């Protein structure tokens, strides 16, 4: 089965998931992002790489932050950006997902940035475009259900590489609601592809998906054991609807077992970095003292995220 995001030459034409991407494709994205980071520090923050291209932000699920970072990234590449909050328009009138896409293709879209509540929706769109002779239109997954959030995974990889240089000696822990997390899945695929020797997931059995160890991770239920000796800790957002019910008794009890505090952090390596995809729930998964502390790289993640998204857009548009 051919990876639907690569063309016949093995080049990236859609970014749907980090799963199955060759490591050199991932490294190339990270390398391409490097110069874009410094663009942000210049007086004029624009390059003409996507001049004349139309980027459609197709958000079937609300997200101000991710949409904004894609918008900034596209504008810095000089693209025209059209934001569509589809959740509020055509689908509520009964139009199907693929009808919406066909209509936008007819408006000469070059890149779709897609967020959807259902796992696999960007794959469906990419396959539809590929099989209907529209393979010049590119799809970038901005988060689909629990499945993948590849640009977040890439910016996490970029952040880790920025602070730790290489992946081959690292221990990375991902903590919290892995079950519902597309961020966790994308990061796990990225880390294992780049040869990280130990990727850990930490959480209660109710928040870890079945057979997660088959993704190449070590499973810990005790946070103290799981944090021991880690080089990077990635805290996941706990959605408020998960905080009460059959998965967890309360946010307070979750924080007690799996919240990141300064005290627990001392079990990791002294130079550990603390990451979070945002938006944070202070006092639920992370203590403010850690979030704002010296080991936190949560705000640099956001900055790198724009550069990584610029890299992805410029690469797919060139293939």
Partner 1 sequence: MKIEFANGRIVDPANGVDRIAPLYVAAGRVAAIGNAPAGWHANRVIDASGLVVAPGLIDISARLREPGLEYKATLESEMAAAIAGGVTSLACPPDTDPPLDEPGLVEMLKHRARSLNQAHVHPIGALTVQLQGKALTEMGELVEAGCVAFSHADVPLVDTQLMWRAMQYASTFGYALWLRPSDPHLGRGGVAHDGEVATRLGLAGIPALAETVALSTILSLARDTGVRIHLCRLSCAQSVELVRAAKRDGVAVSADVAVHHLHLSDVDIGWFDSDAHLVPPLRTTRDRDALRAGIADGTIDLICSDHAPVDEDSKQVPFAEAEPGATGLELLLPLTLKWASEDQIALPVALAKITSEPARLVGAGAGDLGVGCIADVCVFDPQAWWRVERSALRSQGKNTPFLGLEVQGRVRYTLVAGQVVHEG
Which residues bind to partner 1, rule: CB under 8 A?
1, 4, 19, 96-98, 116, 118-121, 123-124, 127-128, 144-148, 182, 185, 209-212, 214-215
Residue with Cβ nearer partner 1 (44 or 214): 214
Minimum CB separation from partner 1 for residue 205, in Å?
A: 13
Burial of 204 (0-12, 13-18, 19+ CB in 10 A): middle
Residue with Cβ nearer partner 1 (97 or 194): 97
Residue with Cβ nearer partner 1 (114 or 173): 114
Minimum CB separation from partner 1 for residue 206, in Å?
A: 13
Residue with Cβ nearer partner 1 (191 or 297): 191
Residue with Cβ nearer partner 1 (215 or 302): 215
Residue with Cβ nearer partner 1 (44 or 106): 106
Minimum CB separation from partner 1 for residue 96, in Å?
A: 7
Describe the chain by its helix, strand, coil percentages, rounded to 5: 45, 15, 40
With beta carbons less than 8 A apart as the criterion, state whether 279 and 65 touch.
yes
Minimum CB separation from partner 1 for residue 122, in Å?
A: 9
Lay out the sheet containing 111-116: strands in order across. 80-85, 54-59, 111-116, 138-144
Minimum CB separation from partner 1 for residue 228, in Å?
A: 25
Minimum CB separation from partner 1 for residue 315, in Å?
A: 21
Lay out the sheet containing 273-275: strands in order across. 218-220, 198-202, 171-175, 232-235, 273-275
Question: What is the Cα–Cα distance from 290 to 297, expressed in whole angstroms?
Answer: 10
Alpha helices in the chain (DSSP H): 23-39, 64-76, 97-106, 121-131, 150-164, 182-193, 223-227, 251-258, 262-265, 288-291, 298-318
From the CB of residue 223, how many other CB atoms can be counted at a distance below 10 Å? 22
With beta carbons less than 8 A apart as the criterion, state whether 157 and 194 touch.
yes
Question: What is the Cα–Cα distance from 39 to 34, expressed in whole angstroms?
Answer: 9
Q: Give me Rg for the CA atoms of the chain.
A: 19
Minimum CB separation from partner 1 for residue 252, in Å?
A: 26
Residue with Cβ nearer partner 1 (82 or 215): 215
The DSSP bridge partners found for residue 12 are 6
């Amino acid at each position: 089965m051919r990876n639907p995001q690569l063309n016949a030459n093995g080049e990236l034409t859609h970014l749907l998931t980090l799963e199955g991407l060759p490591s050199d494709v991932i490294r190339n994205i990270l390398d391409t992002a490097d110069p874009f980071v410094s663009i942000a520090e210049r007086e004029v923050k624009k390059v003409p790489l996507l001049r004349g291209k139309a980027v459609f932000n197709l958000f079937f699920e609300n997200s101000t932050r991710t949409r904004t970072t894609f918008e900034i990234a596209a504008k810095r590449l000089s693209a025209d950006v059209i934001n569509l909050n589809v959740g509020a328009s055509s689908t509520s009138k009964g139009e199907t997902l693929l009808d919406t896409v066909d209509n936008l293709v007819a408006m000469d879209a070059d890149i779709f940035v897609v967020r959807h509540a259902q796992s696999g929706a960007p794959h469906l769109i990419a396959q539809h475009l590929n099989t209907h002779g529209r393979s010049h239109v590119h799809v970038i997954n901005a988060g689909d259900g629990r499945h993948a959030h590849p640009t977040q995974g890439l910016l996490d990889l970029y952040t880790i590489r920025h602070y730790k240089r290489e992946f081959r000696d690292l221990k990375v822990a991902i903590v919290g609601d892995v079950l519902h997390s597309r961020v966790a899945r994308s990061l796990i695929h990225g880390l294992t592809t780049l040869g990280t020797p130990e990727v850990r997931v930490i959480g209660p059995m109710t928040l870890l998906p079945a057979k997660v160890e088959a993704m190449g991770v070590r499973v810990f239920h005790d946070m103290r054991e799981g944090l021991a000796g880690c080089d990077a800790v990635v805290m996941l957002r706990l959605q408020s609807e998960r905080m009460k019910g059959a998965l967890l008794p309360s946010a307070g009890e979750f924080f007690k077992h799996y919240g990141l505090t300064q005290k627990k952090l001392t079990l990791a390596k002294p130079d550990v970095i603390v990451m979070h995809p945002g938006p944070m729930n202070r006092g639920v998964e992370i203590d403010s003292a850690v979030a704002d502390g010296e080991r936190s790289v949560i705000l640099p993640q956001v900055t790198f995220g724009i550069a990584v998204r610029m890299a992805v857009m410029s690469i797919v548009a060139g293939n």
